[in-house]
Amino acid sequence: MTLQQLEYIVALDTHRHFVNAAESCFVTQPTLTLQIKKLETEMGVQIFDRSKHPIAPTKTGLRVIESARQILREVNSLKSFISMEKDDLSGTFRIGVIPTVAPYLMPRFLKQFVDENPKINLVIREIESEQIIADLKNDLLDIGILATPLDENGLREIPMYNEPFLIYSAEQHPLFIQEHIQPSDLPEKGLWLLNQGHCLRNQVLRVCSQKKNAQNNNLSYESGSIETLKNLVKNHMGYTLVPELSVMETISSDDRIKRFDAPEPSREISMVVHQSFNKEAILEIIKGAILENIPSHFRKAKTFNRIKWR
């Protein structure tokens, strides 16, 4: 049994396709196939059911692959530890960011970060929270940036800031002329929501006392984009709740944007890593770059009412 063989079965489990798995490992498909067969022969078990399309692990294979992922994670942690001991801030780091954070946070600090850390390569994907959690556990991501707390076994959370929820209201909606607004004042009628799967949707429902449906007269519209919801409101329909960074450029000039009375409902945004991740220096410089480029009041947690999403 070799580490290379373990890498091959993990790659095949990830891609569920021999050619794609081989390409991801930078070897030919026959080489990958041969090495996996050798491992199965050595272990005396069938790891993959080749009769299924796409190929899938057997029941025993699932346990073998889970152990392989853990072994490879520990090996990578050891390599990272050695690099850290050498003060070598270099390498490639895979980051998953939720779609309601990525377009508003990442452009604020990425250029500065890349310029200041030329030896660090970041591979960034926009994906939803549950997928980030799964990918961190399966060693497909190194770092997640998402709303917390998660309370997930095996994962470690590094809180960074609290982002307030603001009201974005059409001029014809009663909220537009209201000076002081509490969450209990929010009407169910006219509320626009993101699609199922977005943690922000769950938080908005909690702020709005667990109302279950977006309603606007006889029209229901659930979107995957905060920008779509804002455009619906701009066209004289209803209201929505948005994270503050999504309206930061117009917050002082757009009368549709309203703040809640204190304490403002907010979401906690954190970096999340597997408990075996030990390159603390990388986490520190990413966190520092982010905090340097967000509004200072995001860091004053005592002024907020943190809303959970799960």
**Domain boundaries, given as residue ranges, for the chain:** 3-83, 89-161+266-306, 163-265
- Residues 155 and 137: beta-carbon distance below 8 Å: yes
Q: According to CATH, what is the number of the domain 89-161+266-306?
A: 3.40.190.10
Residue that has been written with the tokens 């091959």 in this structure: 8
Residue that has been written with the tokens 């982010």 in this structure: 290
Average pLDDT over residues 199-228: 73
Residue 293 Cα to chain centre, angstroms: 19
Write the pLDDT tens digit of every residue in 160-211.
999 999 999 999 999 999 989 999 899 877 888 888 778 888 898 888 875 5
Q: Which fold has domain 3-83?
A: Arc Repressor Mutant, subunit A (1.10.10)
- The amino acid occupying position 89 is L
- Residues 248 and 295: beta-carbon distance below 8 Å: yes
Strands (E), 228-282: 239-243, 257-258, 264-274
* Predicted structure pTM score: 0.74
Strand 193-194 and strand 257-258: pairing? unpaired
Residue 38 has pLDDT above 90, yes or no: yes
Average pLDDT over residues 270-286: 91
1 pLDDT band (50/70/90 cuts)?
confident
Write the pLDDT tens digit of every residue in 238-261.
899 999 999 999 999 999 999 999
Question: DSSP character for 182?
Answer: -
Q: Do domains 3-83 and 89-161+266-306 have the same CATH topology?
A: no
CA distance 165 to 177: 18
The rounded radius of gyration (Å) of the Cα atoms in the chain is: 23
- Check: CATH 3.40.50.300 for 163-265? no
